[in-house]
């Protein structure tokens, strides 16, 4: 496969709604070991290299799947950076169309942000420098080219990024990477009868966001993680284009949420279900000390105009309630359980200090009503579709604002570049304990209010974006750009 616009569009002939089961050349077997991504540690001046490339991935049995990744066949390494340092990277692109590396959740200047105005063109190499000054957090990176983000992420141009904060090093949380501290990039995908990834958003599947019928974690179908008989920290990224997960364990066990998009929570919050919309992250700590194997489940996702239309979407094989398997955990008593209890408070967790807002803005997300720059119908925000040549808003650095976001039709995961915000309300309901943490995506349930402030700047040449993180909505124009001066 050439990774060209044309080959993306006509990758396979399978129908979106009825993936070919008959005559397929592969089997989707679950239970392979959870792949643990390699770590690219950029602390202490190490210069990393991240090159967008095509690859072949053994996702299915009996066939290899053409994918894309950053310096690997699918997805990218887990990048670690340290607060107080500047992280350096060489960004390359061996694919024949422009890609970018957007640092989702990073508090960095607009010209470091890797958004649509900062492409890495084919065969180009760009030196990137990221000034890291924000609390310890689980972030991610992905390609963010105007109109192409959905395809790029679907084929694999995404990865996790961890900010380490020397001041939060003694939080008492499990932190041995790959043992009791596991990255989980959760995605849904559709495979055609030839084993190729199918990405054809149009009509209803563009309107509702493109969803898949197979669940992958770190690129493997419903894998199995081997964990010690103690506390294990799971850093979960919803790296799906459109699917909203409602995670829970098969045995109903409770777990502790210890982090949100923008950092750790001041105290662990106990829960048995966790909702994550596209782009959102959560850090949870799960107790496996009883030694029992358990499955992580999710579902159903009925996010669609008039609810019921969600059933038209591609969906994993599920029980009568729409619940399906995400992955499994098996306890290995040969592994050392290093952490057995959690602290009551988490040292080094950020304390939001937004103060009173000095101005309000309102964002109305519209599934219709916009016009594409070149003409034609598009999605929009405040009646305007994303136009690379138009700056929609101008914010002032260091000033707290109250943003009200209203969504029509369905729930929209609204994301803002360049900072983290604090939720004030959502859907007219009181916030969950875990929603008091710093966020950069809010799943807008009718109407949400956030407090937001920018400590970095972005100019006309490289503005920040705000957009719906259902990537088909973003690509269809539900995005705007703003400067911070």
Residues of this chain that interact with ligand C2O (CB under 6 A) are 102, 104, 142, 144, 279, 415, 417, 465, 467, 469
Cβ-based nearer residue to ligand C2O, 60 or 444? 444
Q: DSSP strand E in 25-143: where?
A: 39-41, 47-60, 63-70, 78-82, 86-93, 102-104, 125-131, 137-142
Q: Is 281 in the site for Cu ion (CB under 5 A)?
A: no
Interaction partner, residue 279 (ligand C2O, Cu ion, none; CB < 5-8 Å by kind) = ligand C2O
Cβ-based nearer residue to ligand C2O, 87 or 386? 386
With contact defined as beta carbons under 8 Å apart, do 54 and 71 qualify?
A: no
Interaction partner, residue 470 (Cu ion, ligand C2O, none; CB < 5-8 Å by kind) = Cu ion
Interaction partner, residue 107 (Cu ion, ligand C2O, none; CB < 5-8 Å by kind) = none
Q: How far is the CB of 449 from Cu ion (least distance, A)?
A: 18
Q: How far is the CB of 465 from ligand C2O (least distance, A)?
A: 5
Distance CA 410, CA 283 (A): 26
Q: How far is the CB of 268 from Cu ion (least distance, A)?
A: 27
Cβ-based nearer residue to ligand C2O, 211 or 467? 467
Distance CA 171, CA 434 (A): 17
Q: Which residue is nearest to Cu ion (CB)?
A: 468
Q: How far is the CB of 291 from ligand C2O (least distance, A)?
A: 38
With CB under 5 A as the rule, give the number of residues binding Cu ion.
6
One of 152, 235, 281, 473 touching Cu ion (CB under 5 A)? 473
Cβ-based nearer residue to ligand C2O, 161 or 207? 161
Sketch the per residue contact string, 417 through 446, with Cu ion: x for CB under 5 A, - otherwise. Answer: x-----------------------------
Q: Which of 198, 214, 199 is nearest to 59 (CA)?
A: 214
Q: Using the rule CB under 5 A, give the single segment among 92-100, 102-110, 183-191, 442-450 that binds Cu ion.
A: 102-110
Cβ-based nearer residue to Cu ion, 66 or 440? 440
Cβ-based nearer residue to ligand C2O, 219 or 463? 463
Structure tokens at 190: 């559709």
β partners of residue 237: 185, 281
Strand arrangement of the beta sheet that strand 137-142 belongs to: 39-41, 78-82, 158-164, 137-142, 102-104
Q: Which residues of 48-57 are buried (b: 16+ CB within 10 A; e: fewer)?
A: bebbbbbbeb
Cβ-based nearer residue to ligand C2O, 258 or 468? 468
Q: Which residue is nearest to ligand C2O (CB)?
A: 104
Structure tokens at 184: 């989980």
DSSP letter string, 353-367: ---S-SEEEEEEEEE
- Subset of 204-263 contacting Cu ion (CB under 5 A): none
Interaction partner, residue 473 (ligand C2O, Cu ion, none; CB < 5-8 Å by kind) = Cu ion
Cβ-based nearer residue to ligand C2O, 116 or 357? 116
**Spatial CB neighbours of 466, under 8 Å, sequence gap ≥ 6:** 363, 381, 393, 414, 415, 416, 417, 479, 480, 481, 482
Interaction partner, residue 142 (ligand C2O, Cu ion, none; CB < 5-8 Å by kind) = ligand C2O
- Subset of 378-417 contacting Cu ion (CB under 5 A): 412, 417
Q: How far is the CB of 223 from ligand C2O (least distance, A)?
A: 24
Structure tokens at 21: 């089961």
Q: How far is the CB of 415 from Cu ion (least distance, A)?
A: 5
Interaction partner, residue 208 (ligand C2O, Cu ion, none; CB < 5-8 Å by kind) = none
Q: Is 104 in the site for Cu ion (CB under 5 A)?
A: yes
One of 157, 161, 284, 470 touching Cu ion (CB under 5 A)? 470
Q: DSSP strand E in 228-375: where?
A: 231-238, 245-249, 255-260, 263-271, 274-276, 281-287, 294-298, 324-331, 359-371
Q: Which of 55, 306, 325, 74 is nearest to 213 (CA)?
A: 325
Distance CA 53, CA 273 (A): 36
- Subset of 159-198 contacting Cu ion (CB under 5 A): none
Alpha-carbon dihedral angle through residues 205, 211, 213, 214, given to the nearest 10 degrees: 150
**Helical H runs in 187-329?**
204-207
User: Phi/psi at 443 (nearest 5 deg)?
Assistant: -80, 100
Task: Give the footprint of Cu ion on this chain (CB under 5 A).
Answer: 104, 412, 417, 468, 470, 473
């Amino acid at each position: 496969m050439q990774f060209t616009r044309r080959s993306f569009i006509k990758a396979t002939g399978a129908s979106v709604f009825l993936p070919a089961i008959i005559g397929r050349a592969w089997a989707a077997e679950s239970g392979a070991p959870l792949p643990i991504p390699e770590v690219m540690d950029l602390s202490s001046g190490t210069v990393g290299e991240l090159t967008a490339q095509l690859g072949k991935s053994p996702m299915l049995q009996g066939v290899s799947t053409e994918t894309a990744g950053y310096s690997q066949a699918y997805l990218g390494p887990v990048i670690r950076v340290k607060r107080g340092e500047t992280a350096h990277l060489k960004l390359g692109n061996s694919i024949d169309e422009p890609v970018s590396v957007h640092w989702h959740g990073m508090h960095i200047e607009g010209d470091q942000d890797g958004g649509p105005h900062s492409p890495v063109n084919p065969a180009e190499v760009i030196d990137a420098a990221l000034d890291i000054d924000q609390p310890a957090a689980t972030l991610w990176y992905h390609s963010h080219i105007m109109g192409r983000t959905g395809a790029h992420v679907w084929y694999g141009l995404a990865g996790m990024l961890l900010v380490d904060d020397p001041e939060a090093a003694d939080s008492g949380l499990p932190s041995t990477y790959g043992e009791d501290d596991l990255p989980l990039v959760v995605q849904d995908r559709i495979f055609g009868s030839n084993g190729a990834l199918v990405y054809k958003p149009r009509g209803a599947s563009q309107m509702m966001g493109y969803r898949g019928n197979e669940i992958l974690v770190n690129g493997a179908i419903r894998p199995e993680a081997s964990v010690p008989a103690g506390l294990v920290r799971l850093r979960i990224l919803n790296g799906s284009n459109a699917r909203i997960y409602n995670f829970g364990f098969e045995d109903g066990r409770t777990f502790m949420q210890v982090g949100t998009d923008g950092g750790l929570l001041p105290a662990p919050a106990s829960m048995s279900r966790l909702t994550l919309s596209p782009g959102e992250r959560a850090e949870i700590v799960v107790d496996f000390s009883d030694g029992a194997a358990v499955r992580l489940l999710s579902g159903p996702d009925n996010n669609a105009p008039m609810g019921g239309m969600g059933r038209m979407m591609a969906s994993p094989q599920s029980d009568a309630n729409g619940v399906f398997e995400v992955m499994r955990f098996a306890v290995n008593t040969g592994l050392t359980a290093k952490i057995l209890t959690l602290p009551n408070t988490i040292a080094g967790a950020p304390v939001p200090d937004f103060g009173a807002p000095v101005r309000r803005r309102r964002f109305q997300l519209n599934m219709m009503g916009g016009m594409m720059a070149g003409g034609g119908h598009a999605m929009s925000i405040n009646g305007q579709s994303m136009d690379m040549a138009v700056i929609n808003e101008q914010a002032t650095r260091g000033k707290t604002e109250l943003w009200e976001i209203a969504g029509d039709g369905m729930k929209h995961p609204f994301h803002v570049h360049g900072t983290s915000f604090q939720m004030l309300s959502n859907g007219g309901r009181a916030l969950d304990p875990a929603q008091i943490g710093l966020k950069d995506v809010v799943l807008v349930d009718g109407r949400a209010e956030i407090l937001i402030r920018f400590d970095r700047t972005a100019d006309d040449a490289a503005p920040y974006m705000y957009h719906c993180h259902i990537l088909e909505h973003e690509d269809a124009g539900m995005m705007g750009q703003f400067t911070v001066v």
